[in-house]
Amino acid sequence: MTAVFTAFKEAGLASLVAFLLALPLIGFRTNTTGTGLNFEFRWEALVVSVVIVFVGRCVLTSTRGLWQQSRLHLPSFGYLRSVIDRRRVSFAVIVVLVALLFPFMPEVDRRAIDLATLVLIYVMLGWGLNIVVGLAGLLDLGYVAFYAVGAYTFALLGTVYDWSFWGCLPIAGAVAAMFGVLLGYPVLRLRGDYLAIVTLGFGEIIRVVLTNWVALSGGPNGIAGIPRPTLFGLEFTRRTREGHSFHEYFDLPFSGDHRITFLYYVILILALVTNVFVLRIRKLPIGRAWEALREDEIACRSLGINPVNTKLSAFALGAMFGGLAGAFFASRNGFISPESFTFIESAIILSIVVLGGMGSQIGIVLAAAALILLPEALREFSEYRMLVFGLAMVLVMLWRPRGLLAHRKPTLTLYPSGSRTLK
């Protein structure tokens, strides 16, 4: 009896909240008429939404026990995980093969390749930020600043001095890393929330400077005419000054798809390099020191690890990959402006890392694909896009609070996995 009562009480409260929220949000609708705007009061919609909340809450309360039991049996990635663990190498090889052959698969058109390129940019950014957030445990809310620094470095060198993409790529990475050190040195003494706020501020400062320093960055108008990447000097244009274009050299008819495909491979290679780098460095002393710092900074100091330098190296390397991705982004778009580097970008990259499961490389791929493709797929329902996006995030965090594939593999083991006999 009391159970029924509490169920009704909770449902009543929930529907009251729903009513208060729905009254302004759903209850009123503005219509444009010949003479101007008028309000329409949609009481049916209001009633329907309150009833849905009431019934939904009742059902949820009464099945709570069931839900909690079934929670354990909900599909988790356990199975996938075990497959991945057992044949880790072959799984990675399959993923890379699929990625390599992707542009030549049937049904894959220009738009799909372009989207895949975008996803890969975020995968690379996620892997870069993973060094800072996932491994070193430093919450960086301004990662987009380094992305912007890389993009503007290349955009300026490319448009002012006509330097090529490949020549500028290491410079963009180095400049971004330098900014990482400059920012990191004063702020890495801060912890947790403080660090997050300072990095957030830094991200905004970079954007504001880019917007206002018109002489350098072109201000809000941005920079256009950024050079495209070339394949050993071959350009992907219909006609070139020197007659060095890809289609002429290989005697192919000109097609815009060549460039799209080429860009896809460039970012695929950049992302794979990032991945190999992160996987390797995690197993080196510096990588283990990052993780140890994340676990306990005081213990690290008692073991002779210099915390400031170690954190700085994580910050600088993370920034470097952000800068490389930024240079690619500038080159791919041919045009950049401060609008591409707003806080929401930092938030998306951070969500990719957190959602993917901090420290998990393949989880980041899944999360990047989900976070970039989901809004694309929901384009038709653009009104509800953010709503669904938010709902998906909340559900994932409820279902897997530590991220999709949070599972830490030791960097060295004495025993082959699962056994206790020496190798």
Partner 1 sequence: MTINELLRVEHLTMRFGGLVAISDLSFSAAQGEITAIIGPNGAGKTTVFNCLTGFYKPTVGRLTFTVQGKQPVYLERMDGFRIARAGIGRTFQNIRLFPAMSVLENLIVAQHNELMRASLFSVAGLLGLSRYYDAENEAIELAKKWLDRIGLISDADRQAGELPYGDQRRLEIARAMCSKPALLCLDEPAAGLNRNESGALNELLRDIRDTQGIGILLIEHDMSVVMNISDHIVVLDYGQKISDGFPTVVRHDPRVIRAYLGEEEDYDVDAVQPGLPC
* CA pair distance 141, 343, nearest whole angstrom: 8
What is the three-class DSSP state of 44?
Answer: helix
Asked if 411 is part of the footprint of partner 1 (rule: CB under 8 A), the reply reads: yes
Asked if 423 is part of the footprint of partner 1 (rule: CB under 8 A), the reply reads: no
Find out whether 10 and 57 touch, Cβ atoms under 8 Å: yes
Asked if 420 is part of the footprint of partner 1 (rule: CB under 8 A), the reply reads: yes
Find out whether 333 and 376 touch, Cβ atoms under 8 Å: no
Q: Supply the minimum distance, in Å, between the C-beta of residue 369 and partner 1.
A: 27
Asked if 413 is part of the footprint of partner 1 (rule: CB under 8 A), the reply reads: yes
- How far is it between the farthest Cα atoms of the chain? 87
Asked if 314 is part of the footprint of partner 1 (rule: CB under 8 A), the reply reads: no
Which of 6, 417 has the CB closer to partner 1?
A: 417
Which of 289, 369 has the CB closer to partner 1?
A: 289
Residue 73 tokens, joined: 């049996």
* CA pair distance 328, 268, nearest whole angstrom: 11
- Binding test (CB under 8 A) with partner 1, winner from 167, 220, 256, 285: 285
User: Per CB under 8 A, which region of 17-25, 219-227, 288-296, 345-353 contacts partner 1?
Assistant: 288-296
- Binding test (CB under 8 A) with partner 1, winner from 85, 109, 257, 295: 295
Asked if 300 is part of the footprint of partner 1 (rule: CB under 8 A), the reply reads: yes
- Binding test (CB under 8 A) with partner 1, winner from 65, 78, 225, 304: 304
- Binding test (CB under 8 A) with partner 1, winner from 289, 314, 348, 350: 289
Binding positions for partner 1, 381-410, rule CB under 8 A:
408, 410
* CA pair distance 141, 350, nearest whole angstrom: 7
* CA pair distance 56, 367, nearest whole angstrom: 29
Find out whether 316 and 185 touch, Cβ atoms under 8 Å: no
* CA pair distance 271, 130, nearest whole angstrom: 13
Asked if 106 is part of the footprint of partner 1 (rule: CB under 8 A), the reply reads: no
* Phi, psi (deg, nearest 5) at residue 245: -120, 155
Which of 253, 418 has the CB closer to partner 1?
A: 418
- Binding test (CB under 8 A) with partner 1, winner from 305, 327, 370, 371: 305
Q: Which residue is listed with tokens 């060295």?
A: 412
Which of 66, 412 has the CB closer to partner 1?
A: 412
User: Per CB under 8 A, which region of 76-84, 115-123, 248-256, 411-419 contacts partner 1?
Assistant: 411-419
Binding positions for partner 1, 81-100, rule CB under 8 A:
none
In 3D, which of 248, 246, 217, 251 has the Cα closest to residue 233?
A: 246
Which of 29, 301 has the CB closer to partner 1?
A: 301
Q: Supply the minimum distance, in Å, between the C-beta of residue 281 and partner 1.
A: 7
* CA pair distance 101, 103, nearest whole angstrom: 6
Asked if 191 is part of the footprint of partner 1 (rule: CB under 8 A), the reply reads: no
Q: Supply the minimum distance, in Å, between the C-beta of residue 189 and partner 1.
A: 12
DSSP-assigned letters across all residues of 141-205: S-THHHHHHHHHHHHHHHHHS---HHHHHHHHHHHHHHHHHHHHHHHTTS-HHHHHHHHHHHHHH
Which of 225, 401 has the CB closer to partner 1?
A: 401
The amino acid at residue 31 is N
Asked if 303 is part of the footprint of partner 1 (rule: CB under 8 A), the reply reads: yes
Query: CB-based contacts of 351: which residues, under 8 Å, 6+ apart?
Result: 367, 371, 393
Q: Supply the minimum distance, in Å, between the C-beta of residue 119 and partner 1.
A: 27
State the residues that interact with partner 1 by CB under 8 A.
Answer: 277, 280-281, 284-286, 288-289, 291-292, 295-296, 298-307, 408, 410-415, 417, 420
